[in-house]
Amino acid sequence: MTRVMAQLAMVMNLDKCIGCHTCSVTCKQAWTNRAGMEYVWFNNVETRPGQGYPRTYQDQEKWKGGWELGRNGRLRLKAGGRLRKLLTIFANPLMPSINDYYEPWTYDYDRLFSAPVSEDTPVARPRSLITGEPTKIRWSANWDDNLAGAPELAPADPVLRKVSGEVKLEFERAFMFYLPRICEHCLNPSCVASCPSGAMYKRSEDGIVLVDQDRCRGWRMCVTGCPYKKVYFNHRTGKAEKCTFCYPRVEVGIPTVCAETCVGRLRYIGLILYDADRVAEAASVKDEKALLEAQKSVMLDPHDPEVIAAARESGIPEDWLEAAKRSPIHKLIFEYGVALPLHPEYRTMPMVWYIPPLSPVVDVLTNTGHDGEKAGNLFGAIDALRIPIGYLAEIFSAGDPEPVRAVLRRLAAMRSYMRDVNLGRDRDESIAAEVGMTGETIEEMYRLLAIAAYNERY
């Protein structure tokens, strides 16, 4: 008997992300603009290629976040099991320092009013919020935004290092995209498993992963355990804090702050039903490239009568079942097959998924008289897009280019198919067939990706 659980999940369509950071600011303003949390952004946006926040967090050889398979084929925390945790509880070296995030600062704004008559114009100089001393700013919450400093800094991007052979950081081949990140609210959360105090938990009704502020003892093993580095330490209270999926909001039926305020309209929130008992098994699949399918296999079809029956048995209320059927998340992952998880190879079964971005074709193709309007050429162009597929694959499919290519082909097909509709030409079913879809499905997907209003996105 399947044990069905409900999970709140999010999909972000990176193809629409404008990198504006509104999500970061509204989240920060609502949740973390307070003492001890100055450096904390539950939601942040990274320019890729880039080092990320905290710096190089994706380098699990260094930070040891997430899970790995032991020689016995069993999952274990990459940073070591419980025993090792106990032994290193007072001196955990696998944790980003404040410099890996950034040293928060403010300015002597008061000088602008208080300066007496002087030789020169008053100025507010920066001052560290850690030491209180004047400082030269060397890193920030988003230092390498828009490829800032990329020639010096991007080579340290752990993802770029894996595909460095394909990528040159030069003007003619420049590419970038934005990666907004919140807590993944994983099905198999390594932060929860890392907590020696039992303070972290995954809510039964909606899968939101939380820190019990009363029980947290500030060991910070969760910080190490999370491969996404989305659990933070509050220096004032000595407790861990993290993205709460805005539970005080979602509990009353409004979306998370980051989703509601996303002006790119690229975030979708919905319910997913999954088989809780198959999580560990799926996370233990040997081949990293098979993890994507394994995770999908844990997620259940909300239209399947057996699933519905089992869900009822598991105590999931009727309106939640309805929500699961309407879930844009389920549609994007399964019906349209365009969303992919973030680093499935961490084996945490993340529940914030992404639609990878299209990008301009490289000039080489432009010069050959390439006609971007022709559907056939669009497909051909997928491998000539500026963002190397290999780079995307290292982020969304454990290095396997095929799932990424398949998504990009579907997006391209949608554009090509819809162009005919837009211009009043006959609909060309062959375009849809080429990517394993029907025209009808493409038009439904188009509606969800392009038009979906507030009520359809969440």
Partner 1 sequence: MSRIDGPVDDALLKLGRHLRRGQVGEDLRTLHQIGGRRGDVFYRDRWSHDKVVRSTHGVNCTGSCSWKVYVKDGIITWEAQQTDYPSVGGDRPEYEPRGCPRGAAFSWYTYSPTRVRFPYARGVLVEMYREAKARLGDPVAAWAEITSDPDKRRRYQSIRGKGGLVRVTWEEAAEIVAAAHVHTIKTYGPDRVAGFSPIPAMSMASHAVGARFISMIGGTMLSFYDWYADLPVASPQVFGDQTDVPESADWWDAAYLMLWGSNVPVTRTPDAHYMAEARYRGQKVVVMAPDYNDAAKFADEWLAPHPGTDGALAMAMGHVILKEFFVERETPHFVDYVKRFTDLPFLVRLREHDGGGYVPGKFLTAADLGEEGEEAAFKTVLLDRRTGEPVVPGGSLGFRYSEEGQGRWNLDLGDVDPTLTLIDEEEAVPVSLPRFDPAAEAEDGGGVLHRGVPVRRVGGHLVTTVFDLLLAQYGVGRDGMPGQWPAGYDDPAVPYTPAWQEKITSVPAAAAARIAREFARNAEESKGRSMIILGAGTNHWFHSDTMYRAFLALVTLTGCQGVNGGGWAHYVGQEKCRPITGWAQLAFGLDWKRPPRQMIGTAYFYLHTDQWRYDAHTADVVASPLGSGVFNGKTSVDLLSQSARMGWMPSYPTFNRNSLDLADEAEASGREAGPYIAEQVQAGELGFACEDPDAPENWPRVLTVWRANLLGSSAKGNEYFLRHLLGTDSSVRAEELGPDQRPKDVTWREEGPRGKLDLLLSLDFRMTSTTLFSDIVLPAATWYEKHDLSSTDMHPFVHAFTPAIDPPWQTRTDFAAFHAIAKAFSTLARTHLGVRKDLVAAPLLHDTPDELANPHGLVRDWRETGQTPVPGRTFPKVVVVERDYGAIAEQMAALGPLADRLGATTKGITFDVEAEVERLRRINGTVHGGVAEGRPSLATDVQMCETILALSGTTNGHLAAQGFATLARRTGTDMSGLADEHRQITFADTQARPVPVITSPEWSGSETDGRRYSAFTINLEHRKPWHTLTGRQHFYLDHDWMQEAGETMPVYRPPLNTAALVDAAAGAGDGVAVRYLTPHSKWSIHSEYQDNLLMLTLSRGGPTIWMSPADAARAGISDNDWVEAVNRNGVVVARAVVSHRMPDGTVYMYHAQERVVDVPKSETSGRRGGIHNSLTRLLLKPTHLIGGYAQLSFAFNYLGPTGHQRDEITVIRRRSQEVDY
- Determine the residue type at 405: R
CB under 8 Å, gap of 24 or more: what pairs does 90-98 form? 92/219, 92/220, 92/221, 92/224, 94/63, 94/64, 94/224, 95/220, 95/223, 95/224, 96/54, 96/55, 96/57, 96/63, 96/223, 96/229, 98/39, 98/130
CB of 214 to partner 1, least distance (A): 4
Q: What DSSP character marks residue 246?
A: T
Q: How far is the CB of 112 from partner 1 (least distance, A)?
A: 4
**Structure-derived torsion over alpha carbons of residues 343, 347, 348, 352, reported in degrees to the nearest 10:** 30
Separation CA 209–CA 27 (nearest Å): 17
Smallest gap from Cβ 303 to partner 1, in A, equals: 25
In whole angstroms, how close is the CB of 162 to partner 1 at the nearest point? 20
Nearest to 58 by CA among 397, 346, 383: 346
Rounded least distance, CB 351 to partner 1, Å = 14
Alpha-carbon distance of 227 to 190, in angstroms, equals: 8
Strand (E) or helix (H) holding 45:
strand 44-48
Phi, psi of 351 (to 5 degrees): -115, 15
CB of 27 to partner 1, least distance (A): 9
Residue 394 CB, shortest distance to partner 1, in Å, is: 19
The DSSP call for residue 18 is: -
Name the token pair of 291: 């993890």
Closer residue to partner 1, CB minimum distance, 251 or 306: 251
Q: How far is the CB of 318 from partner 1 (least distance, A)?
A: 20
Cα distance between residue 419 and residue 21, in whole Å: 31
Our CB check for partner 1 shows the closer of 215 and 312 to be 215
409 and 379 in contact (C-beta within 8 Å)? yes
What gap in Å lies between CA 62 and CA 42, rounded to an integer? Answer: 22
Q: Which residues pair with 7 in a beta bridge?
A: 272
Of residues 305 and 426, the one with the C-beta less far from partner 1: 426
φ and ψ of 231, to 5 deg: -115, 135
